[in-house]
Structure 1
Amino acid sequence: MNRMHKIATIAAALAFACLAPALHADEAPKIQRQILLKDDLSIAGHEGVMVRVEIPPGAAEGYHTHPADVFAFVLEGEVVQELAGRPTVTLKAGDVFHVPANAVHQATNKGSVPAKIAVVFVAEKGKPLTVPVK
């Protein structure tokens, strides 16, 4: 490999290393969901599902429904909760909320730190936990 080829290779590698973060800058932050527990309930045809949700700053869930009643506790950060038929509210660490089954809603993190939420679904067994609204 001649000297000019080596210099060009190094320059290309440095340029890529500097530009790589910018290539992903337009990607929306990803919401993380981790199922912690899933078990049958004594209610026929239902299961309980406990989920840990983390919503990064600037992220929104998008409008969706659940074939489940949802009970949630904000562990850290804060979210703006939009729930059809109710006023929009800002919920912060220590707040709790309930989303009735099949209600259209979304949570958005407009803060500067991740929002962490513990969620319990009382769900119809065999159905998806989340259904996007089209």
Structure 2
Amino acid sequence: MKTIKLVAAALLIAGSGVTPHMAQAQQLGIQRTDLLQHDLDVPGREVVQVRVDFEPGAVAAKHSHPGEEVAYVLEGSLEYQLADRTPVTLKAGETLFIPAGVVHTAKNVGSDKASELATYIVKKGTPLVVPVK
């Protein structure tokens, strides 16, 4: 059953025409919605803004970004684990700065949906999300 869900999700992503940024970031229980992608005045850099919705218990697998991230929790409670640092739990209205290249995870630790607004300042033309094993 799990394999069927994974294949269905892959087919949905492949056939939906989503942007490369969004297609790389979809995971079960997590929905990313691209809101903005715009060049900056700094050569080779762009800003990308996305809304990320987490179902209860959903975890974003270990990953990093090719630039800085500012996470703003819109609703619920999200636990962030940056590298080997102590995890931090943020509630609606709280923010977190994630430096470029820092491996991290995010998990919905509440009983309801949680959402964040993620703003990235990244190298243009590179994958937004870099998975880590």
TM range (shorter): 0.7 to 0.9
Instruction: State the distance in 1 between where 2:90 and 2:69 align.
Output: 15
When the two structures are superposed, what TM-score results if normalisation uses the length of structure 2? 0.78
Residue 33 of structure 1: aligned partner: 32
Kept in 2: contact 1:56–1:114 (CA 8 A): yes
Structure (1 or 2) with the greater strand fraction = 2
Q: Deviations over 1:69-98 (max 9, x none)?
A: 001110100111100142211111011001
SS of the residue 2:127 aligns to:
coil
Amino acid in the other structure paired with 2:58 = A
Residue 46 of structure 1 and its aligned partner are, at CA, apart by 0.5
Provide the residue aligned with 1:89 in structure 2.
88
The count of corresponding residues between Structure 1 and Structure 2 is 110
Residue identity opposite 2:43 in structure 1: A
Percent of aligned positions that are identical:
45
Distance in 1, Cα, partners of 2:122 & 2:28: 27
Q: Normalising by the residue count of structure 1, what TM-score does the alignment of the two structures yield?
A: 0.77
Contact 1:79 1:109 in 2 (8 A): yes
Verify the 8 A CA contact 1:29 1:58 in the aligned structure 2.
no
The letter for the 1-side match of 2:66 is P
